[in-house]
Structure 1
Amino acid sequence: MGFYPPLWTQLLETAKGEMQCSLFRQHPFLPDKRTAVDGECYEVLLSVIARYEKEQLPVEHGFSDKKHDMAALVCVFELHKGTGVNNCKLYDNIGSFCSVIKKAAQDAIPSGYAVLAPISAVSREAHTTAVKAQATALLQDAEYLHGTPNEQGKKAYFGHAVLKRVCLSVFYPDSRKSLCTFPEFQQSLPVKLLALVHFVLTVYKNHGKDTNPSLNAKELEASYYRFLQSIQAVARHHSKGPRFEKMLASWASEGI
């Protein structure tokens, strides 16, 4: 990024924000990096350049022939400070794309869901069995999605405090506010992040701990689309749907 002068750098930062927004709202499972650079990233870059031209926003002369190189930069997703990884390429592997979300979920899940082995589980086998049993119970009937029961004893679907914590830390962090500039992130919070929380819980279910496995795109995509079916069922419900939408809007308002 340091190769480009200030105005082009500003344009590229705008394009990177557009790309992140596009990924989170539309395409969580894009093709390999080369295909993406020549396709989605290039299209996003051209749309930002076209908007600059339409609004007559200035950029320095002499860099219009660097569009393909710029598109590769648009594919860079800047991770949170302190994750130990900087400027990971989104399309090197699916793990790079999910690393911020996965880390946020990893930090929140053990204590937020009490996915912890009891003191009595001394051996490694007992520890693993206990954690797997807890994760399995949470995933059964989407229990991990439920919030605190209200005065009538009813739990809010998709209202668990862990989900809220992960959503706000990923989409509305203090260190990176670029997504907050997009109207759709100001109005409501995207639901796709919740499917990735489900995936991390599945890791606990299968292994009894976070083994930090290489995330398999097909496995993650299958989990994601299973989750969307649950989302759609709630969204279609005459009373649960409006409550769900109102909750996401309130989370976005709090994040901003």
Structure 2
Amino acid sequence: MFVDGTEEGNEEADHDEEVDVEEDDVSNEDGDFAGDDINNDNMDYDSEQDVHGSDDIMPDPSDHDNQTYPSNNQVRCPAQVPDRGAYSQDEDYDDTGVADMDRDHRNDRTTSRKGRDQNINVAQAPTRASLQSTNQQAPGHLGAPAVVAHHTKNQWPRSPSPSYLNSVRNHCPKTKCARTSNSLSSDDSDDQQDDLEDLDEVENTGKRCCTKKAKGTATNCDATNVGFYPPLWQKLLDHAKANFRLHLAISVPFPDKEESIGNTGVCGEMIAEAIVQWQEQKRKLEKGFYPEFKPGMATVVFNDTATFRSKIKQIVLTVVPMTYDLALGVSGNTIDSVKLKATALLKKAMYLCGHPDAEGRASNFANLAVRIVCHRSFYDNGSKSLKQFTEFQKTIPPPALFLVGTIIRNVIYIYSKYGQVNGAKQTPIEDSETAYDRISTLFNRTNRDEYHGPKLRQMLKAWALEGMNAHGAGLGTNEGDNSCSEWDVDLD
């Protein structure tokens, strides 16, 4: 077909062009619409046949200075829209010319236009032809956003693979399960407890879900951990712990674990006693935990033994250095001088005695340190405070006094060995049991004395009254009231 300069020739060329486009769409899935680039007016007719399939031609390097580059908001398009009537197409035209032109554009950008037919890369032709077809269908993307043009030129973003999404989901940290609407509140106000149902009528809201293990604690899937149980069971276990602390203070300060958590052990008795009290008060408890988890509950209660003794020891560690003048750097104390002072306190249990009274007689078990530790250990405001029991409301039970004296003795013994002390140093249980028994013997001898026995009992009553009224705060420097501060007992 030749170029016709008349109007009829133009109409015939337009008609042929439409026919060619339809044929290309049917016969070649990678075919393109023909486009003309008239930047080079000196190109011969044969070269035009190869150029018709491309609207995205790299300009000649010699015209580099005259080339216009698109900005961020522009879309790459032909430098000049060709006049379709000025050129015609061959009916035998196919995608060969497009592939030739595209390979010339990619592999020979620095050569002249006429030399682009060499070193053809056949593998890249269909892809470039497809991109040219897209550009021809939407001429120049003149009205499209810049991102559309970018994706058209490069590649549309791919969706993430299912395997990647699965890995992200597996590595995502689990969130704490929200408490259901049927979960019971741990508030124990009297108004709410009046309307609580009987224990046998309470619905089970389910076991506590497993959460991420907290630092220094066991997993909540373990029935021996208090976090395993729902809120109201935790309150009941706290009450059982308080009962067990009373047992430690007045009966057995160093119990055996196997005997305590056995089927007939004291820990199980404390739990059963607490459940009976809950039933009498019409308080709720979730079903499905007792007696199924009775051994685990018994272990939870028994583990509070170490917590109770550790609490007393921490109080002793803060009181002993200042009360007995054993702190380093105070009053010129050195490690050697502290060792000597501590050793002297251990002789004849002088750490239990207060200052002599007005008659020059010893004040046994009246030391200020013993008094302060008793108040802070037994008369605090915690939920497991022993002041809630009648045994501590009228007087300080003698066994509780023995336990306090034993822990004070253990700390002073560490001072006598090392000249200083920290919480890491422990005393064997056997040594503690021996000290406990000896202090008990000294107390019994003092209590049987006609003169000092009544004064000792009166002093313990006064300490209990102070604890109930002041919670161990605002303690003075006297070892009791005047009526019980004067006694004498021979401990030889």
Counterpart in the other structure of 2:463: 251
Counterpart in the other structure of 2:450: 238
Which ranges of structure 1 fall in alignment gaps of 5 or more residues? 78-89
Counterpart in the other structure of 1:27: 252
8 Å CA contact 2:315, 2:373 repeated in 1: yes
**Closer, same or farther in 2 for the Cα pair 1:6/1:191, shift >3 Å?**
same
**Closer, same or farther in 2 for the Cα pair 1:150/1:31, shift >3 Å?**
same
Residues 41-190 of structure 1 mapped to structure 2, 5 A cutoff = 41-53=267-279, 57-64=283-290, 65-77=292-304, 90=305, 98-116=309-327, 127-175=334-382, 178-189=385-396, 190=400
- The Cα of 1:43 is off from its aligned counterpart by 2.3
Match of 1:218, SS state, is helix
C-alpha separation in 1, matches of 2:235 and 2:433: 33
* Equivalent residue letter for 2:437: Y
Normalising by structure 2, we get a TM-score of 0.44
C-alpha separation in 1, matches of 2:428 and 2:385: 28
C-alpha separation in 2, matches of 1:156 and 1:18: 32
**Closer, same or farther in 2 for the Cα pair 1:200/1:240, shift >3 Å?**
same
Counterpart in the other structure of 1:221: 433
8 Å CA contact 1:19, 1:44 repeated in 2: yes
8 Å CA contact 1:7, 1:59 repeated in 2: yes
**Closer, same or farther in 2 for the Cα pair 1:121/1:167, shift >3 Å?**
same
**Could you tell me which of 260, 263, 272 is aligned with 1:36?**
260
Runs of 4+ in 1 over 6 A off after TM superposition: 118-122
Higher alpha-carbon Rg: 2
C-alpha separation in 1, matches of 2:328 and 2:235: 49
C-alpha separation in 2, matches of 1:178 and 1:249: 18
**Closer, same or farther in 2 for the Cα pair 1:7/1:121, shift >3 Å?**
closer
**Closer, same or farther in 2 for the Cα pair 1:121/1:61, shift >3 Å?**
closer
**Closer, same or farther in 2 for the Cα pair 1:15/1:188, shift >3 Å?**
same
Deviations 1:214-256 (A, max 9, x none): 3211111111111111111111111211111111111111111
Counterpart in the other structure of 2:401: 191
After TM superposition, the structure 1 stretch with the greater mean CA deviation from structure 2, 62-71 or 173-182, is: 173-182
C-alpha separation in 2, matches of 1:117 and 1:8: 46
Match of 1:191, SS state, is helix
C-alpha separation in 1, matches of 2:331 and 2:280: 67
Match of 2:444, SS state, is helix
C-alpha separation in 2, matches of 1:20 and 1:181: 12
8 Å CA contact 2:370, 2:405 repeated in 1: yes
**Count of residues in correspondence between the two structures:** 235
Higher-RCO chain (CA-CA 8 Å, sequence separation at least 6): 1
8 Å CA contact 1:16, 1:76 repeated in 2: no
- The Cα of 1:156 is off from its aligned counterpart by 1.7
8 Å CA contact 1:195, 1:228 repeated in 2: no
- The Cα of 1:57 is off from its aligned counterpart by 4.8
After TM superposition, the structure 1 stretch with the greater mean CA deviation from structure 2, 145-154 or 164-173, is: 145-154
C-alpha separation in 2, matches of 1:228 and 1:158: 11
- The Cα of 1:22 is off from its aligned counterpart by 0.5
- The Cα of 1:115 is off from its aligned counterpart by 1.8
Match of 1:169, SS state, is helix
* Equivalent residue letter for 1:143: M
8 Å CA contact 1:146, 1:160 repeated in 2: yes
- The Cα of 1:118 is off from its aligned counterpart by 6.8
Q: Please tell me whether residue 11 in structure 1 is matched to residue 244 in structure 2.
A: no
- The Cα of 1:155 is off from its aligned counterpart by 3.3
C-alpha separation in 2, matches of 1:251 and 1:16: 24
C-alpha separation in 2, matches of 1:254 and 1:121: 35
Counterpart in the other structure of 1:87: none
After TM superposition, the structure 1 stretch with the greater mean CA deviation from structure 2, 233-242 or 38-47, is: 38-47
> Which structure shows the higher helix fraction?
1
Deviations 1:81-103 (A, max 9, x none): xxxxxxxxx36xxxx55322222
- The Cα of 1:52 is off from its aligned counterpart by 3.9
- The Cα of 1:177 is off from its aligned counterpart by 5.6
**Closer, same or farther in 2 for the Cα pair 1:139/1:181, shift >3 Å?**
same
